[in-house]
Amino acid sequence: MGELAELGDTELIFSEPWEAQAFAMAVTLSSNGYFTWKEWAATLAEVIAESKASGGPIDGSDYYENWVAALERLIIDKDITDFSNLESIKVAWEDAYKATPHGKPVHLQERIQGT
């Protein structure tokens, strides 16, 4: 295996913590056999192409938004969850976020079914 490129002290791989979390989720789901890395790469490529075709940025600034969209597509396509459950989790997360005082950790309510 080749050497890994060294990054300078100021180069960031992830701009925000959620980007690293999305990356880790894809790696973990693939490692645990929910989908192959080949399926992941194909789905991500489809999502990126769709984003660009619909007028999304071509500079890659939406890369991790596309990463999340590809994850959502795969977990629905692979019957890991369904659209309705995914949407209810998103709504619950948004509600919890809005109810959290600035600077405090967000706690997702245990009212989500199936988790």
pLDDT 10s digits, 100-112: 999 988 888 654 5
Average pLDDT, the chain: 87
What's the alpha-carbon Rg for the chain, to the nearest Å? Answer: 16
Q: What is the pLDDT of residue 23?
A: 95
Length of the chain: 115
Task: State pTM to two decimals.
Answer: 0.76
Q: pLDDT at position 113, please?
A: 42
**Side-chain half-sphere exposure of 68, counting CA atoms within 13 A:** 10
Looking at per-residue pLDDT, the higher value among 107 and 52 belongs to: 52
Q: Map tokens 């192959």 to a residue.
A: 36
| pLDDT at site 6 | 63
Residue 83 to residues 44, 72, 73, 90, 113, Cα–Cα distance (Å): 18, 9, 9, 11, 13
